[in-house]
Amino acid sequence: MSLAQLSIDKFNKKEAVIGILGMGYVGLPLALRYSHVGFRVLGIDIDKSKIEQLNNGKSYISHISDSNIICAINSGFRATDDFSLVAECDALILCVPTPLNKYREPDMQFVINTTECIVPYLRHGQIVSLESTTYPGTTEEELLPRLEKSGLSVGLELFLVYSPEREDPGNSEFETCCIPKIIGGCTPDCLKVGVALYQHAINKIIPVSSTRTAEMTKLLENIHRAVNIGLVNEMKIVADRMGVDIFEVVDAAATKPFGFTPYYPGPGLGGHCIPIDPFYLTWKAREYGLHTRFIELAGEVNRAMPEYVLNKLIEGLNNQGKALKGCQILVLGVSYKKNVDDMRESPSVKIMDLVRDKGGIVAYSDPHVPKFPRMREHYFDLQSVQLTVDNIRMFDAVVLATDHDCFNYEGIRENAQLIIDSRGKYREAEDNVIKA
């Protein structure tokens, strides 16, 4: 019997050990799902604090409960920073960050470093799956040659697939198991083993012809959103100049039963995928002598939105006879989307930076982020401000950046001196509200 069939049988019998590298917003939900369906799961991460919290049954992601972690532990899950335990695993799923560097080019250090860390412990019959969003060609150009340094041949003794994550943190309608899984293999046997790996944890599997196709699929999904959000953000600026409410326009257009998908404007793009992924393709396209003008233009529009919000804030303060310098500004919501604690690439944080750079005294309120964490590019020594009447009244302006459901919007409207609304929560004309 071939190694591929032996591996497939092991997954089908749920005798395989699943190793997931990266216990973040993608890796942890996937680990919990595999544990739930009866696999033994090993979570590997270099962050010792995450390891300690997980092994103590504690969650560090707001929409994942401690009880889910405890249930997984009772089913055999454990977390570790010991890469030698890779040898115990039958599947190795890489869920590590793929950010951009300061030149807005792909930063592959996490993928490459993780791959090189597992190579010494690889053995016959294992499958490696990369889930991190990346440019077409990464799996075959970066992972495959490094994995084969182990002496194992991909497709014969070791199996390699690309299967992009499609997580939407905090979206209870689409949990990990309910999101169809794209899988592309380096060889036909790689694909067969990949399907066997994922079919027990994910309800619907979508095999594609190659790893490059799978990589491009994920980029298209996120570029589609980035371009359409860029369009509606630009439309917002035009509509505002014309005295038209863009949110009312989008709602009205959405009544068309065909040919229109509603996208809503905001203060910019956040999250790990949409602000970043398009530039993975633009970077790779240059290798082929191509310039992705449409994608890059959308990126320019979206990156400019925090500055647009800042200008609306300055305008509103000027109308009250105030300069931004020395004013106290409260930013509502610092996560990139509502009802989660995920701050990756959050436009709220960029707005905070801009306010501080202009001399404003910035604070924030976000019950999902009680204390501002250390980030790679941003840091504020701040804790979340409680939204009491007195606290709201003390600020010269409140910038609504992330529209969490838990905010008391009526109370904020009644007590704030000035509101800069980037999310369309205040539709009616108000003396103290400026739409941004």
Q: Residues 102, 138: contact at Cβ < 8 Å?
A: no
User: What is the fold, at CATH topology level, of the domain defined by 219-285+290-299?
Assistant: N-(1-d-carboxylethyl)-l-norvaline Dehydrogenase; domain 2 (1.10.1040)
The tens digit of pLDDT for each residue in 159-175 reads 999 999 998 877 778 88
Domain ranges of the chain: 3-209, 219-285+290-299, 304-435
The tens digit of pLDDT for each residue in 356-396 reads 999 999 999 999 999 999 887 778 999 999 999 999 999 99
3-209 shares its CATH topology with 304-435: yes
**DSSP labels, 30-61:** HHHHHHHTT-EEEEE-S-HHHHHHHHTT--SS
Look up tokens 């949409």; give the residue. 274
Which residues are part of the catalytic machinery? 273
The CATH architecture one would assign to domain 3-209 is 3-Layer(aba) Sandwich (3.40)
How many CB atoms within 10 Å of residue 256?
A: 10
* Per-residue pLDDT at 258: 96
* The pair of three-digit structure tokens given for residue 31, joined into one six-digit string: 């680990």
Long-range contacts for 408-413 (Cβ within 8 Å, ≥24 apart)?
411/387, 412/332, 412/387
Q: pLDDT (tens digit, 0 to 9) for every residue of the chain, 436 residues total?
A: 899 999 999 999 999 999 999 999 999 999 999 999 999 999 999 999 999 999 999 999 988 999 999 999 999 999 999 999 999 999 999 999 998 887 788 999 999 999 999 999 999 999 999 999 999 999 999 999 999 999 999 999 999 999 999 988 777 788 889 999 999 999 999 999 999 999 999 999 999 999 999 999 999 999 999 999 999 999 999 999 999 999 999 999 999 999 999 999 999 988 877 788 888 999 999 999 999 999 999 999 999 999 999 999 999 999 999 999 999 999 999 999 999 999 989 999 999 999 999 999 999 999 999 999 988 777 899 999 999 999 999 999 999 999 999 999 999 999 999 999 999 999 887 889 999 9
The CATH architecture one would assign to domain 304-435 is 3-Layer(aba) Sandwich (3.40)
β-sheet bridge partners, residue 177: none
What is the b/e burial string over 182-211, where b = at least 16 CB atoms within 10 angstroms of the residue's CB?
A: bbbbbbebbbbbbbbbbebbbeebebbebb
Element (H, E) at 207: strand 205-208
β-sheet bridge partners, residue 158: 154
Element (H, E) at 434: strand 433-435
* The pair of three-digit structure tokens given for residue 145, joined into one six-digit string: 């040659």
Q: Report the mean per-residue pLDDT for the chain.
A: 95
What Å distances lie between residue 387 and 163, 189, 398, 417, CA to CA? 42, 57, 11, 14
